[in-house]
Structure 1
Amino acid sequence: MADNEPWDAQTLQVVWFSPRSREVSAEKVYQALTGREPDSVQTNRAPQPTNPFLGIAQGSLDHADAVVQVQQMRVDFFLNARPRDTADLPTIADTGRHLDELVSRFQGAAGAVPDAVRCAVVLTLVKPTSSLEEAASLVSEALNIPTDLRSATDLTFSANVRKEFAKGGQKMNRLQRWSADAYQMLNVQIGAQPMAIAPTATTLEQFGATHYIDVNTMPVSRPIEPGVLAELIGEMGAEAKRLRGSQSLKALEN
């Protein structure tokens, strides 16, 4: 079942890891990565297990919903596909262009989180299918597995192969994961009393093959200079884009 077009994303994500994340403004990071002010901002001085976030900024863009989450030791930025009125699985249209834009903004904002010791570019891609069997076939094709896995009801495979950055001295992790998944969107009433909340299915069960790509730097003991971090981010973004275009486990050989 050949599919030569790169799959579109449900989520595009970039991450900084830093021991000084508590000093970060979610609002400022949102502005740096979107070029506009967020629709809402929340701060939390006393994080709890049920609410671990120091700050959250979120808003709706033309092509996706954007969220910044500041936690202890890390800052995440997400572009999430916006749910549609149709029953189709939501994806970010023109994923390649928006990935390029996000990586470019990530490079420009490399110093927005002080003393970063690690960073990541993460893609969650999906190919909607008509059945779980079709999704399993797409996963088998990506893995080049001769065994017939179309009847598998729980199919997941992941592998990480490290690669040295062009300038050497550091290595990047390149994790790829494929899975065949079933989805069902739920409607939850917000603001009701806990006992009154009754999630109801709003769509029939849907199916898709998922391709997860996580390209990140190896942890280091000293903060990475923003200029150096920007170079690493550019190379990680290019690698994530290459892996997306390949849609094959064999891409990790290079």
Structure 2
Amino acid sequence: MAVWGSQSVQFVWFLTSVENLRAEALYQALVGDEPDTSQRNKVPSPANPFLSTADGVIENRQFQLQVQPGRVDLIISAFQQELDQDITLLETVDEIQGVLEAIPKAAIEWPVAVRQSVVANLVAPVKNDAEAYSLFLETAEYALDLPDFSDPILQINRRKALKAGGFMNRLMRFGVAATQQFMFEINQFAGAGQAIPVSKQRFGCSLTLDINTVPDGRTIDSKHQITIFKELSQELIRLAELRSPKALAD
């Protein structure tokens, strides 16, 4: 089956140290362009846990690079530009392959990792909530003879051995996506100019795939991190193609 588009794709490095890593430099190396904005924070706090961040928009994609104690996240999200557009989605496989190609080209000497993760938030857009619920039941292969139910979710994880040693978690979360975008139109005839919110709600069936290594005390050096990411990505794409809880049987 064809792979659904994604609202976002995320690569995560869980590292023993991030002392010499700066979001702006990592962004330039991995994305191949300068960020639109970047920020450093010498003293992280619960309200702002990031040591540094960098982000930018290229066509319909928003890139975010986040460095916080113990981890680095590269997040690619679909950028919604027009209110009348359907849910904007990324080409899931293309985005994953792009990151896998960018990591070795960036020639970054990553600190030792203790865990890695690849996440994709897939969505199949539909016309309304009733169609979203119907597609959820079909995709999750879940029988529910109840009228007027809402907020369905099915989450399941099953581990699998990694060729490189150790195990991976393979979490599948089936659900319904409901997004609402607000835009503000200026009414020039309302006194000094009043902002009037205009909104549009969109629905879809969602499937979040989080494929990550199981922490077992092993460490992963910079050379082998790309090998792990490739294996995690291959499994994510396989599950995205099958879109069934039964795919975890393999």
What TM bracket, shorter-length normalisation? 0.7 to 0.9
In 1, Cα distance between the equivalents of 2:231 and 2:59?
27
- 2:229 paired residue number: 233
Counterpart of 2:181, as a letter, is M
Aligned pair partner of 1:162 in 131, 156, 159:
159
Structure 2 residue 102 is matched with structure 1 residue 105:
yes
Q: Give SS of 2:10's match.
A: strand
In 2, Cα distance between the equivalents of 1:177 and 1:36?
33
In 2, Cα distance between the equivalents of 1:30 and 1:148?
49
Counterpart of 2:50, as a letter, is F
Structure with greater strand share of residues: 2
In 1, Cα distance between the equivalents of 2:248 and 2:81?
34
In 1, Cα distance between the equivalents of 2:196 and 2:209?
31
Q: Shift of residue 184 of structure 1?
A: 1.1
- 2:16 paired residue number: 19
- 1:194 paired residue number: none
Please give the root-mean-square deviation of Cα atoms over the aligned residues, in Å: 2.3
- Deviations along 1:22-52, one digit per CA (max 9) or x if unpaired, are 4311112212221222222110001121111
Counterpart of 2:5, as a letter, is D
Query: Could you say if the C-alpha distance between residues 172 and 111 of structure 1 is closer, same or farther in structure 2, counting changes exceeding 3 Å?
Result: farther
Q: Shift of residue 18 of structure 1?
A: 1.2
Q: Answer yes or no: is the 8 Å Cα contact 2:61–2:78 preserved in 1.
A: yes
In 1, Cα distance between the equivalents of 2:122 and 2:240?
8
Q: Shift of residue 138 of structure 1?
A: 1.4
Q: Give SS of 1:185's match.
A: strand
In 2, Cα distance between the equivalents of 1:53 and 1:213?
24
TM, length-normalised to structure 2: 0.87
Q: Shift of residue 183 of structure 1?
A: 1.8
In 2, Cα distance between the equivalents of 1:79 and 1:44?
22
Q: Answer yes or no: is the 8 Å Cα contact 1:127–1:209 preserved in 2.
A: yes
- 2:188 paired residue number: none
Q: Shift of residue 187 of structure 1?
A: 4.6
In 1, Cα distance between the equivalents of 2:210 and 2:35?
26
Q: Answer yes or no: is the 8 Å Cα contact 1:136–1:149 preserved in 2.
A: no
- 2:44 paired residue number: 47
TM, length-normalised to structure 1: 0.86
In 2, Cα distance between the equivalents of 1:139 and 1:45?
44
- Pairs aligned (count): 240
Q: Which runs of 5+ in 2 are unaligned?
A: 185-194
Radius of gyration: which is bigger?
Answer: 2
Q: Answer yes or no: is the 8 Å Cα contact 1:134–1:150 preserved in 2.
A: no
Structure 2 residue 206 is matched with structure 1 residue 224:
no
In 1, Cα distance between the equivalents of 2:162 and 2:10?
21
Aligned pair partner of 1:31 in 15, 22, 28:
28
Structure 2 residue 182 is matched with structure 1 residue 186:
yes
- 1:61 paired residue number: 58
Q: Give SS of 1:154's match.
A: coil
Q: Shift of residue 63 of structure 1?
A: 4.1
In 2, Cα distance between the equivalents of 1:88 and 1:112?
40
Q: Which runs of 5+ in 1 are unaligned?
A: 189-198
Q: Answer yes or no: is the 8 Å Cα contact 2:100–2:226 preserved in 1.
A: no
Structure 2 residue 157 is matched with structure 1 residue 122:
no
Q: Shift of residue 203 of structure 1?
A: 2.2
Q: Shift of residue 226 of structure 1?
A: 1.8
- 2:130 paired residue number: 133
Q: Answer yes or no: is the 8 Å Cα contact 1:33–1:106 preserved in 2.
A: yes
Report the identity percentage: 34
- Deviations along 1:80-107, one digit per CA (max 9) or x if unpaired, are 1011312421211x33222211123245
Question: Could you tell which deviates more after superposition, 110-119 or 83-92?
Answer: 110-119
Q: Answer yes or no: is the 8 Å Cα contact 1:56–1:68 preserved in 2.
A: yes
In 1, Cα distance between the equivalents of 2:50 and 2:173?
27
Counterpart of 2:3, as a letter, is P
